[in-house]
Chains A and B, each alone.
Chain A
């Protein structure tokens, strides 16, 4: 299979010189289509001090089809669904933008960039996006409390906390401290 060689090469590159603030591991050595990435919350952002699990799944048709990226750690962010699915909106991954020459390292860098600078104009969580634009203080507070609640301690990679999510975008109110 053509994609094996390409994935092996990318994996080697990403493990030897990983993108900033990330560690990459295979949960199952015999399956190079699933990666577990641990991302440290970038310094100087509300996510600093947290560790976030990111699951990278490479389709059989990779690199002709885009990888799928989800957060396994809950995160309070306009571009990530506020549920156990942790779906993320990245322009780079949309079929019309994805190119087979695109690299996973640049995808991961784009994810990190999104934590540094959220894109409220292209939100998955409209309410959080509004809050980000209109009440930054409140947004910061909620995001930090999410970090405290979910992103401390050992990083979990099993799909989020429980099966209840089901694509809903429930507002959990963020800890309320």
Chain B
């Protein structure tokens, strides 16, 4: 179950045929099974970790937790503190939340000055019996001013007593409307005593208890730097990863949830390898700021460079053939396709203009815009192509079902198309970010290797994309099927090679960027959800 195995073997075409569970991310197979013990070493050295486990450079250790796991972790910690400090579980829970689940610090501080710790966490020191509902003669509720005989009332340790209805109303408002759970105080003005879990269990209705525990779980995840919610809508899982904020200039911590969503643990955005979080943030901001300048590029139509007739792009493939004059050209650079097929000449590389051209400010700004557009064009294009590839896949799939009915092919046999589609999506996403990465990359002796890797991946992806656009009748040809399967695994392999190279150099600080990386660029997306 471990990932020590050479995972390039996991990329062979046989594996691409594995049904379902593996098709999502071949390159990540088994990664979820590898992770931390319950309590990760706070000073885990990720470089050492990578070395020790012989992991590929761009992989980070992470673990996916489902709601039940999250609950169990809290319960275990609570039990432990309950035993060590000889306090009730309710109090242990409150103290742990107060200390943001830092068990060691809690125990240390508590041993030192228990009174101070209890006060600070809103736990009073007097140890009366457990709270219960009571009917006290002559009692008037200070909130609703009711004083009828038989009025049930409740108070936590501080003795501030209110009728049960008011207490319930108060709690339901806090829990349901304000999303408050771990730190609900006594309803009395000026009293900061926190209402413990046992009192809540006595008071709240079952459906509220559920919400309450859900909120408590949330604070557990949100309080820990090593835990983050999977941002996929409706996903309840959390991911644990030891990569710290300060590491983000050296690693792009990409994690993958059981729900299939792959995202960056550093900034919660979708997988943006190989670009570090901070560059991603800068790039997205730049794109937003310059959107008007760049808009025309992502347009779906362009003119044929030879006959000027309008050409619409409706597939992901960038190899265009003009319907009218049959001119073959590259959608990205509008150059001759014939020159791409063999060498991909320098479609991916931006040729820096020599200094003489860029003397005056105006020329410099033109050059800088041109340079940006070169990268943006390719970035936006892969984003768009990924979408178009997917459309084609959906259409193809429909036709395939039709074909299967007619020809008697079994469903499993066309899974290769799904794998190919997945590979195209993943590789284009990587390619997209290679252009943002390249935009900020300052030339050094390593950039050429990077550009070659980028070029190789791009060529492979375009070739696969082109096969993909073949008519369904041709796709059913067993020979083409083998070709597509081979190309799919080749694409995945090229992606791994590119990511390994970029991640390794990033980890060792060998890239130079033309902007400064402070290492605190990603202040984590919205990690608080309610």
Contacts and interface: CB of A to CB of B under 8 A. Distances in A.
B360 interface: no
Interface string B163-190: 0011001100100001000000101111
Contact of B145 (A9, A65, A106): A9
Nearest to B180: A96
A101 B188 contact: yes
Interface string A56-88: 000001011100000000000000000000000
Nearest to B185: A99
A9 B145 CA distance: 8
A3 B145 CA distance: 9
Interface string B181-209: 00001011111000000000000000000
A6 B142 CA distance: 8
Contacts, number: 44
Contact of A99 (B144, B145, B165, B187): B187
Contact of A2 (B160, B165, B178, B190): B165
Main secondary structure of the interface of B (DSSP, over half): loop
Nearest to B160: A101
B143 A101 contact: yes
A127 B258 CA distance: 52
B82 to A, nearest CB: 29
Contact of A5 (B145, B178, B188): B145
Contact of B187 (A3, A65, A95, A100): A100
B483 interface: no
Contacts of B162: 100-101
Interface in B44-73: none
Nearest to B147: A5
A101 B144 contact: no
A61 B142 CA distance: 15
Contacts of A102: 189
A64 B177 CA distance: 11
A3 B144 CA distance: 6
Given A61-B173, A64-B170, A2 B146 contact: yes
Interface string A1-19: 0110110010000000000
Contacts of A64: 143, 169-170, 173
B170 A6 contact: no
Contacts of A100: 143, 162, 166, 169-170, 187
A103 B189 CA distance: 9
B15 to A, nearest CB: 53
7 contacts: A2-B146, A5-B144, A6-B145, A64-B170, A100-B143, A100-B166, A101-B160
Interface of B: 142-146, 160, 162, 165-166, 169-170, 173, 178, 185, 187-191
Interface of A: 2-3, 5-6, 9, 61, 63-65, 95-96, 99-103, 106
